[in-house]
Amino acid sequence: MTKFLSAAVCVGLLGISSAVRATEYDPTQRLQSIRPAWSFQLDSTHGTFEQTDSSADPRSEKIPSSIGLHLNYQPTFLQALGTFSVGPSFYFYPFSTVNQRVLKTPHTWAAGAEARYQLRLFRKQWLVPTAAYHSQYLAYQLSDGTSGKTMVRGHSLGALFLLNSIDPEISLDFFKSWGALRTYLLAELRMTHGNDRQIVFSQKSYFFGLRIEY
């Protein structure tokens, strides 16, 4: 009986050792174990602005779009509890109108910062819940000369889908070429507020984008 137990323990230890060695020398496994310190995010939405005149014909309004750029720092020593990140953000609004008045793109922009948390607790976690707080300074100018400035604040809830999980080999090549550790698709609902006499910043907007972590 003693010999049988000893043999079973030896087999178990050999199995664990083999698994550890396989993980150690598997580059795709090692890639997932590295904690990224920086991230870049590109996202976009429609329906950012609403008209302030409730009597206006809603059919006359073309919903504008925005494109956002984000650069976040992610402290690696905190990532055992999930991923915290903070950094600047910038938005611009191409080809947009509000109440049939064109938003002049070079003069319509928003800049600010965001703080984000990702509930990532496991290696190769393909779906990551995320929440963020946003604060932006918005400046705009319309084609009729009307202009304004306002602060826009709010929070968002969404999810990140890990593209590395689809094809680890392509992800490894992407890391070798560009240094990208993880690549995500983003989908989230942002609930923000901010307004002046001319426009109202929509309280709910759906954002979709791409997030790359280095």
Would you place residue 111 in the very low, low, confident or very high pLDDT band (cuts 50, 70, 90)? Answer: very high
In words, the CATH class of domain 34-213 is mainly beta
* pLDDT > 90 fraction of the chain, expressed in percent and rounded: 38
For 66, counting Cβ atoms within 10 Å of its Cβ (0-12 exposed, 13-18 middle, 19+ buried), the class is buried
Q: Is the pLDDT of residue 5 over 90?
A: no
Residue ranges covered by each domain of the chain: 34-213
pLDDT at 102: 56
Q: What is the pLDDT of residues 25-56, one digit of tens each?
A: 456 666 677 889 999 999 998 766 555 554 44
Q: How, if at all, do strands 182-193 and 204-213 pair?
A: antiparallel
Q: Are 188 and 130 in contact (CB under 8 A)?
A: yes
